[in-house]
A and B are shown apart, each in its own frame.
Chain A
Amino acid sequence: MLKDADSAVPVACWSCSVQHDEVTMFCPHCGKIQPPPGGDYFSVFGMEPRLNLDLAALEGEFHRLSRRLHPDRFARATECEREWSLADTALLNDAYRTLKDGLRRTEYVLTLHGAGNGTHIGSGFETQIAEEQNGKERQNASRAPADLLEEVFDLNMQLEEMRLRRQSGNVDRQSGKVNRELIEDLRAAKRKFETLREEVDRDLRGAWNDWDGGAADTRRRAQTNLRTLLDRRRYLSNLVRDVSEALGE
């Protein structure tokens, strides 16, 4: 399970024994390194969970913490501190990789709020998801809305037909014309899928705003919306990939 973003429980520093309730890799009192803190990936960077994230601030904080956690700084430290510097670095890297990418960040926020789907992304929380996956598999398998499935199925059928025509066109080589038409069709299909994907990305950004600014109700609706959009985007990305392959790109 992911740890809840519950940092209210005070932690005592192993070195100076002063209690604090911050999610931090360094004691706010004596500055000594701490074992990997609980809390979510956002709190690693001292940030509030937001989908519209200040990426410059994220990167700055990542570099600052990376330098502070660098193993060279712990060459003369105790064995515990050396281990924590490695464990903290691993957590920091997972958190950064997940949060800097808009799609992974969205997936992560949905996972935190129980609307994830166990997609294979990132590394850190992926293993935790894998453990839960078997139980969730059942309800997740065919969760996609019917109209999306119809659309994706039809698009796949069209794509397959074009691909087959292209293959047979290559075999009989009767004229370059047929082939050119097919390639044009495939290119048009690719543009269409890419345009649809761009629309999804625009809608995703809209849903980000709803989630960031909304009250609990709006937020729940935004989560449902985000889940649908991510699913749709995955299908569209597969179609773009398949049509690119058919074009030999």
Chain B
Amino acid sequence: MAYSDKVVDHYNNPRNVGTLDKSSTEVGTGLVGAPECGDVMRLQIRVNPETQVIEEAKFKTFGCGSAIASSSLATEWIKGRTVEDALAIKNTDIVKELSLPPVKIHCSVLAEDAIRAAIGDWKKKNGAAEAAAAAASAQ
């Protein structure tokens, strides 16, 4: 199957590959996978607690070219956005940008799910942190 130029570009020069400190409260981690093709994708964000802006995004994906390209593109797109703006990204946007064929649509779904999972993890951590802070100030 022929990959589009954009997929090849992201595959050969993946943006934002790497790891952020999982234990930091500013960092959210999303780990998702597609059993049908055996892909695993980890996407991490570091959010500025003042502005809610995603200042850093990193990913590591084991899988096909489309899965790598989808997650690479996802990190590019969410960087500089607020958490709420990042949630507006749809898998169909990724499909369009990368011209993914129908059999590779699940790769874009995976990338969208990874964004949501990372933000969900960050919210959970910070919801918990806020609750702890509120409890502490109440005492």
Contacts and interface: CB of A to CB of B under 8 A. Distances in A.
Contacts, number: 64
Q: How large is the interface on B (under 10, 10 to 19, 20 to 34, 35 or more residues)?
A: 10 to 19
B37 to A, nearest CB: 8
Given A142-B113, A153-B40, A137 B105 contact: yes
Interface stretch (B28-36, B45-53, B79-87, B124-132): B28-36
Interface in A137-189: 137-138, 140-144, 146, 148-150, 152-153, 156-157, 160
A153 B41 CA distance: 8
A238 B33 CA distance: 13
B113 A141 contact: yes
Contacts of A153: 31, 40, 42, 60, 62
Contact of B31 (A137, A150, A231): A150
B102 A231 contact: no
A152 B102 contact: no
Contacts of B105: 134, 137
A235 B105 CA distance: 19
Interface residues of A, number: 28
Given A134-B102, A142-B113, A153-B62, A235 B38 contact: yes
A245 B42 CA distance: 23
Contact of B40 (A137, A140, A152, A237): A152
Interface in A58-77: none
A17 B23 CA distance: 74
Nearest to A141: B109
Contacts of B38: 234-235, 237-238
B117 interface: yes
Contact of A137 (B35, B42, B106, B114): B106
Contact of A142 (B32, B60, B62, B102): B32
A140 B106 contact: yes
A142 B36 contact: no
B110 interface: yes
A207 to B, nearest CB: 16
A231 B109 contact: no
Interface in B92-134: 102, 105-106, 109-110, 113-114, 117
Given A120-B36, A140-B106, A142-B32, 11 more contacts: A134-B102, A137-B109, A141-B110, A142-B109, A142-B114, A144-B35, A148-B33, A150-B31, A230-B35, A234-B36, A235-B40
Interface of A: 117-120, 134, 137-138, 140-144, 146, 148-150, 152-153, 156-157, 160, 230-232, 234-235, 237-238
9 closest pairs, A vs B, by CB?
A231-B35, A142-B32, A238-B38, A141-B109, A144-B33, A156-B62, A142-B113, A149-B33, A153-B40
